[in-house]
């Protein structure tokens, strides 16, 4: 709902700005005000419609990516909080669904096709120290499944031929196998306060947007039929730009 509101508010803003700009320009070339207004409305509507379609597709793609990342993080958290044996059985079922019929859970490990996978799901990334026991373990074909790995752990695993599978690969395996646990052990969600939502609007770098909008309105107040609205709105935006520029928080 919030994303739809943002999309439509941006659409309305662009329509108002483009309509104002088009009318202020066209009224000098078209003598009849009604004709200038009609053409301005048509141009603004067409431009806004194209922009709306582009923004909707772009934001939908971003939303899907963000939603996918959240699901991956939720599964990684679930596996970190779950009993190791239960997590191993989940991975074994997912492997069997993927065609590895001999996949079996053994303690905190999973064996399949003569290979052994160690589960090291933690709330933090697996470090090189935590990876060293796996390297010392018997067997050649070894792999580690975890939510993430530090750079040192990745270099160590590469040096000793240990394959690493992070949260994204584990999520893909579980999802494709239709073994996604329900409900997930999810981390507590921090409710976003209104102040946090508005913070980007008052960050120091936001002054450019206020300044541009304010100057835009002030300039067109010179040509508008009713300049008072543009003078008031433009002056207010310029004042906000000055305050944000000097009093806003660093990003």
| Residuewise pLDDT in 10s, the chain (251 residues) | 555 666 676 677 667 766 766 766 676 677 787 887 888 889 888 888 887 788 777 776 766 677 888 888 888 999 999 898 999 999 999 999 989 889 999 877 999 988 899 999 998 999 999 999 988 887 778 899 999 999 999 999 999 999 999 999 999 999 898 888 888 887 776 665 555 554 555 565 676 677 777 777 767 766 666 777 776 787 687 778 767 765 665 55
In a domain, 234, yes or no: yes
Cα dihedral angle (139, 76, 65, 162), rounded to 10 degrees? -10
Does residue 172 sit in the same domain as residue 86?
yes
Question: Domain with 86 in it: what CATH number?
Answer: 3.40.1350.10
- pLDDT at residue 29, rounded to an integer: 72
What is the spatial distance between Cα 103 and Cα 99, in angstroms, rounded to a whole number?
9
- pLDDT at residue 129, rounded to an integer: 92
CA 101 to chain centre: 37
Does residue 3 sit in the same domain as residue 30?
yes
Does residue 51 sit in the same domain as residue 4?
yes
- pLDDT at residue 77, rounded to an integer: 92
In a domain, 73, yes or no: no
Out of 151, 176, 201, pick the residue that ends a domain: 176
In a domain, 236, yes or no: yes
- pLDDT at residue 165, rounded to an integer: 94
Best CA proximity match to 185, nearest among 93, 91, 76, 88? 76
In a domain, 184, yes or no: no
Beta bridge partners of 109: 106, 118
Out of 14, 43, 67, pick the residue that ends a domain: 67
**Size (the chain), residues:** 251
- pLDDT at residue 89, rounded to an integer: 92
Does residue 238 sit in the same domain as residue 197?
yes
Does residue 154 sit in the same domain as residue 200?
no
- pLDDT at residue 57, rounded to an integer: 78
Structural domain total, the chain:
3
- pLDDT at residue 21, rounded to an integer: 63
In a domain, 183, yes or no: no
Out of 134, 149, 176, pick the residue that ends a domain: 176
In a domain, 75, yes or no: no
Show the DSSP H helices in the chain as ranges.
Answer: 2-26, 33-81, 84-97, 128-136, 151-160, 167-176, 194-198, 207-220, 227-247
- pLDDT at residue 141, rounded to an integer: 84
Tokens 């590469």 found at: 158
* pTM of this structure: 0.55
Does residue 99 sit in the same domain as residue 13?
no
What is the spatial distance between Cα 237 and Cα 218, in angstroms, rounded to a whole number?
10
Does residue 103 sit in the same domain as residue 168?
yes
In a domain, 182, yes or no: no
What is the spatial distance between Cα 229 and Cα 10, in angstroms, rounded to a whole number?
20
Does residue 244 sit in the same domain as residue 170?
no
* Domain carrying residue 31: 1-67
Does residue 58 sit in the same domain as residue 111?
no
In a domain, 76, yes or no: no
Does residue 172 sit in the same domain as residue 194?
no
């Amino acid at each position: 709902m919030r994303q739809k509101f943002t999309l439509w508010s941006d659409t309305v803003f662009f329509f108002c700005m483009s309509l104002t700009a088009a009318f202020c320009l066209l009224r000098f070339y078209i003598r009849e005000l009604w004709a200038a207004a009609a053409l301005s409305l048509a141009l603004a509507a067409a431009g806004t419609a194209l922009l709306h379609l582009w923004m909707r597709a772009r934001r939908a793609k971003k939303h899907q990516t963000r939603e996918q990342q959240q699901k991956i993080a939720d599964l990684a958290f679930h596996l970190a909080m779950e009993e190791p044996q239960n997590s191993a059985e989940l991975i074994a079922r997912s492997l069997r669904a993927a065609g590895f019929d001999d996949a079996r859970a053994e303690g905190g490990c999973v064996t399949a096709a003569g290979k052994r996978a160690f589960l090291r799901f933690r709330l933090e990334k697996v470090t090189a120290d935590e990876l060293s026991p796996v390297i010392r373990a018997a067997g050649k074909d070894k792999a580690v499944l975890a939510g993430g790995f530090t750079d040192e752990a990745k270099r160590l695993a590469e040096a000793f031929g240990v394959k690493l599978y992070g949260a994204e690969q584990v999520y893909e395996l579980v999802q494709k196998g239709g073994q996604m646990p329900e409900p997930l052990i999810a981390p507590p969600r921090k409710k976003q306060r209104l102040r946090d939502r508005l913070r980007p609007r008052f960050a120091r770098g936001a002054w450019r947007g206020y300044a541009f909008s304010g100057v835009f309105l002030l300039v067109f107040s010179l040509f508008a039929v009713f300049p008072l609205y543009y003078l008031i709105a433009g002056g207010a935006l310029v004042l906000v730009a000055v305050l944000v520029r000097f009093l806003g928080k660093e990003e």
